[in-house]
Amino acid sequence: MMNSPNFPILSVITYLPLLGILVICLINSKRHDLIRWVAFLTAAVTFLVSLPLYFRFDAGTWEMQFVENIPWISQYGISYHMGVDGISLLLVLLTTFLSALAILSTWSAVDKGVKGYMISLLFLETGMVGVFCALDFVLFYVFWEVMLIPMYFIIGIWGGPRRIYAAVKFFIYTMSGSVLMLVAILVLFFTHYHATGIMTFDILTYHRFGLPANMQFWLFLAFFLAFAIKVPMFPFHTWLPDAHVEAPTAGSVILAGVLLKMGTYGFLRFGLPIFPQASVDFIPVILILSVIGIIYGAMVSLVQDDIKKLVAYSSVSHLGYCMLGMFALNLEGVKGSILQMINHGLSTGALFMIVGMLYERRHTRLISEYGGVMKVMPVFATLFLLVAFSSMGVPGLNGFIGELLILIGAFKASLGYGLLATIGLVLGAVYLLWMYKRVMYGRITKEENKNLRDMTGREYAYLVPIIVFIVWIGVYPKPFLDKMDVSVQHLLEVMGQQRTVMLDVPEHSELRATHAMNNYEQYAADQGR
C-alpha cells in the first residue's frame, strides 16, 4: 500500500504520533513504563514509515514529490498541500530519527508527569514534520505555531531550576518572530490577489510571483527576523543557552537537532526563492552576522564551566556556518549548508545525549566536578571522543564534509569571509578538546566519580545509531548529497529568473500582473498533470 502513488505517506508520518498520544491518554498515569514504551514504539514506527521517502525519492527532478493537495478553505485559496523535495527530504528523516532516539534517551531522567511529557514529545514531532512538509502558508503557519506549545511545556514543566524563565524567554522570542512572519504572509497574499485576482496561499505559487524591490526588502526583513531568531543568528541567540540548559535531555536533543533547522529551512523555502533580490541585497549583513556568530559562539563556548551550556553556545557557531554557506549562493555552499544542518542535528544531538548520561550519574554539569572519567567509563569516553571529533569537523566524519563544502562556497563568494570562517574551526577544536581533557583525563579527584558505571544497553541503543550515520556521512556522503543536488540547482536557477523578471518588469504594472497570472496558470497546469 505504501508503494501506491496515492498513499498519503506524508500525512501518515505527520499524524501517526497523534495516534500514539490517543493510546497514551487511555493508559493509567501511574504506569510509567508502559507509557514510555508506547511513546517510543510510536516514534520508532513513524521513523520506519518515513524510510520509503528516501528510497522512493526521485533525485532526478526538482519537483515536489509525495504531494497531497486537497482544498481546505477554498474561498480564500487555502489548501491542505503537502510535499517534499531534495531540500526538505533529509530534514523530515532527521526529525523522525531523532524523535525516537530522544524518547529513548530520556527514559529514566523524567519520573514525574511521564504521561504529559511523552504526549508533549509526540505532539512536538507532529508539528516538526508538518513544518517541513507544508506547501501552503496557512498550513505551514499552523504547524509552526503548534510546535512551540509542547516545547514550551517541555522546558517549563520538566526543565531545571530556572525553567520558567527559560520557557517564557523561548516563547516570547519565537512568538515575536512568528507574528512578523504572519503579517508578511498576509501582505504577500493581498499583493498577489490585487495583481492576479486569485486568492491563494500556495507557497510554490509565490516562488513564481515577481515582487517589486522595495516590497521584497520589507517582507524579507519580516521573514528574516522570524527565521534568524529560530536559527538563532547573532544577536538573536540569547534565548538559546537558557532553553538548552534548563530543558531535559530529550528537549535539548530535539531543540538542537531539529527546531533550530526550521530557521535555516525557512530561508531556503521562503527567503531565497520568493525574495531573490532582497536576499542578494542582504548578503553582506547576513555574512557578517554569520561570521560573528561563528567566532562569538566558539569563544563563549571556550569559557563555559557548564558542559551543557558549552554545547549550547557551540550551536550558535555551527549554525553560523549553515547561514554562511547558504548565502554564498552557489551550489557548493547551499549543499554544504543543508548537509551541515543534518550533521549538526546528529553531532550536537549526540553531545546533548552524552551530557545527559553524565548528568544522570552525577547530577551536575560542571566541568570542575569531573576528571579521570575515562578510567571508569572507557567505552563512554571513546564514543564521546568520536562525537567530539565529528562536531569539530575531523576528516572521515560527517562534520568535515559539510564544513568543507561550506568553506568552498564561502571562498568562491568572498576570500575574506572564507578566511574569517576558518577561525571558527580552530576555536571549535580548542573548546571541545579542552572540555574533553578536563572531563575525561587526569586524576579522579571526586569520590563520586570512582564508581561511575559505563554505558548501559539503553544508552548504546540511542547513541550508536547516531554514530553510524556520523561515520557513514563522513566516509560516503554521496547518497545524501545526490538527493539534494537537483533541488538546490533549481533553487539557484529560480532565484536568477525571478531577479531577471523583477528587473525587467516595472513595479505594479500590467505586465507584472500578466507575468504573475501566467506563472500561476503554468503552476496549475503542472499540478494537474
What pLDDT was estimated at residue 498? 59
Beta bridge partners of 70: 80
| pLDDT value at 482 more than 70 | yes
| pLDDT value at 528 more than 70 | no
Reported pTM: 0.89
Tell me the per-residue pLDDT of 492-507, one tens digit each, with 9 for 90 and over.
887 776 555 444 444 4
In angstroms, the first-to-last Cα distance of the chain is 22
What 3-state DSSP class applies to 306? strand
Mean pLDDT of 266-286: 90
What does the alpha-carbon distance between residue 371 and residue 85 come to, in Å, rounded to a whole number? 47
What pLDDT was estimated at residue 2? 52
- From the list 341, 334, 235, 239, the residue with the least C-alpha distance to 285 is 235
What does the alpha-carbon distance between residue 316 and residue 424 come to, in Å, rounded to a whole number? 11
**Band of the pLDDT at 445, cuts 50, 70, 90?**
confident
Tell me the domain boundaries of the chain: 282-476
Q: Residue 425: what residue type?
A: L
Range in 110-124, 202-216, 425-439, 513-527 with the lowest mean pLDDT: 513-527
**Band of the pLDDT at 4, cuts 50, 70, 90?**
low
Tell me the per-residue pLDDT of 240-257, one tens digit each, with 9 for 90 and over.
888 888 889 889 999 888
Other Cβ atoms closer than 10 A to 148? 17
- From the list 496, 498, 475, 134, the residue with the least C-alpha distance to 331 is 496
Q: Is 472 exposed, middle or buried (0-12, 13-18, 19+ CB in 10 A)?
A: middle
At residue 170's C-alpha, the angle toward residues 270 and 356, to 5°, is: 105
| Cell 527530504, residue located | 89
What pLDDT was estimated at residue 481? 94
- From the list 523, 317, 309, the residue with the least C-alpha distance to 420 is 317
At residue 489's C-alpha, the angle toward residues 484 and 495, to 5°, is: 125
Q: Is 185 in contact with 141 (CB distance < 8 Å)?
A: yes
Mean pLDDT of 428-448: 89
Range in 33-37, 82-86, 105-109, 481-485 with the lowest mean pLDDT: 105-109
Tell me the per-residue pLDDT of 386-436, one tens digit each, with 9 for 90 and over.
999 999 989 999 999 999 999 999 999 889 889 999 999 999 999 999 999
Q: Is 21 in contact with 123 (CB distance < 8 Å)?
A: yes
For 88, phi then psi, to 5°, come to: -100, -15
Average pLDDT of the residues of the chain: 88
| pLDDT value at 522 more than 70 | no
Q: What is the 3-state secondary structure (H, E, C) of 403-429?
A: HHHHHHHHHHHCHHHHHHHHHHHHHHH
Q: What percent of the chain lies above the pLDDT cut of 70?
A: 93
| pLDDT value at 161 more than 70 | yes
Cβ-Cβ contacts under 8 Å for 38 (sequence gap 6 or more): 20, 23, 24, 27, 118
